[in-house]
Amino acid sequence: MAIFNFFKKKNKHVRESDRLPTHIAIIMDGNGRWAKKRALPRTAGHAAGAETFRRIATYCKNIGIEYLTVYAFSTENWNRPDDEINAIMGLLEKYLHESIEKMERDKVKMKFLGDVSVLSPKLQDLIAKTEELSKTFDGVQVNICLNYGSRAEILKTTRDIVKSIYSEQNSDAQSSDVSADKSNSAKDILAGITEETIEKHLYTTGIPDPDLIIRPSGEMRLSNFLLWQSAYSEFYFTDTLWPDFKEHELDKAIASYQQRDRRYGGI
């Protein structure tokens, strides 16, 4: 009954709710199947999915969501056909050009999560320019996971922590003219790895964990997405394919979230 009453209200009641999620993450899935159902090339599905992303990002801003994270391209997606990869990158380039022109007006700032060093120099420049502009104003933050995989992120984080600890030890040893003891080094490394240390080295450092993770398309798995960050996230699955995911679908996901009792392991 509560959910039914929710949908009888106008969207402004979503914004006024004291249980509105701070951070929503979405696995944008189903573009290829959407295109196949219409006898269209998969690239048409990605174009339709890009438009859905624009619309949902704007809607999140309008209802007061502070963070939106979307899974745009995974580390495993490089196994797809070249023409499909090129189409996705082309859509991203088009979106970034348009966003740079509009982001200050729209109050939407962007951050990219993942290893963007393998992308084309042109895309890397656009990403750098977008992130630099984002520092100059406040607004909803849209995080785009690009060449992102959570296992790769955790592996990178572990290596970065170990490198950081060794670098500090070597610096201390040189300044005191004392060589570092290997057994103590191992103990120091273990002592230096805490949850806080790990979170500081993740791509998402400074970003709150997602309250709600949405996966369209009927699949019920995370697919290597935000494994560390989703430890206490609420999940919402729907059969709706991503290009068909409208604002009312997001309302339904939020309504479901608002019925959850988040205890974080407590009673």
The region that residue 107 occupies, defined by phi over 0 for left and psi between -120 and 50 for alpha, beta otherwise, is left
208, HSE (Cβ side, Cα atoms, 13 Å): 15
Which tens digits make up the pLDDT trace of 145-158? 999 999 999 999 99
Nearest to 60 by CA among 110, 108, 10: 108
Give the active site residue among 11, 62, 77, 224. Answer: 77
- Please state the rounded mean pLDDT for residues 39-58: 96
| Structure tokens that stand for 188 in this block | 């120091």
For residues 142-169, one letter each, b for 16 or more C-beta atoms within 10 angstroms of the residue's C-beta and e for the rest, the string is bbbbbbbbbebbeebbeeebeeebeeeb
The ranges assigned to domains in the chain are: 2-7+15-149+207-258
Give the torsion sign (CA, 215, 13, 266, 68): positive
Q: At what angle do helices 42-63 and 82-106 cross, to 10 degrees?
A: 20
Give the active site residue among 29, 209, 211, 251. Answer: 29
Q: Which residues pair with residue 113 across a beta bridge?
A: 145
39, HSE (Cβ side, Cα atoms, 13 Å): 0
Give pTM, 2 decimals.
0.87
Name residue, tokens 């992303």: 53
pLDDT of 137? 82
Q: What CATH architecture is 2-7+15-149+207-258?
A: 3-Layer(aba) Sandwich (3.40)
pLDDT at 37 over 90: yes
29 is catalytic: yes
- Please state the rounded mean pLDDT for residues 153-182: 72
Across 19-23, 35-39, 186-190, the highest mean pLDDT is recorded for 35-39
**Where does the pLDDT of residue 139 fall: very low under 50, low under 70, confident under 90, or very high at 90 and above?**
confident
Q: At what angle do helices 182-192 and 150-176 cross, to 10 degrees?
A: 130
3-state secondary structure of 38: coil
| Structure tokens that stand for 49 in this block | 């999915």
pLDDT of 40? 97
224 is catalytic: no
Which tens digits make up the pLDDT trace of 7-26? 445 454 444 456 899 999 99
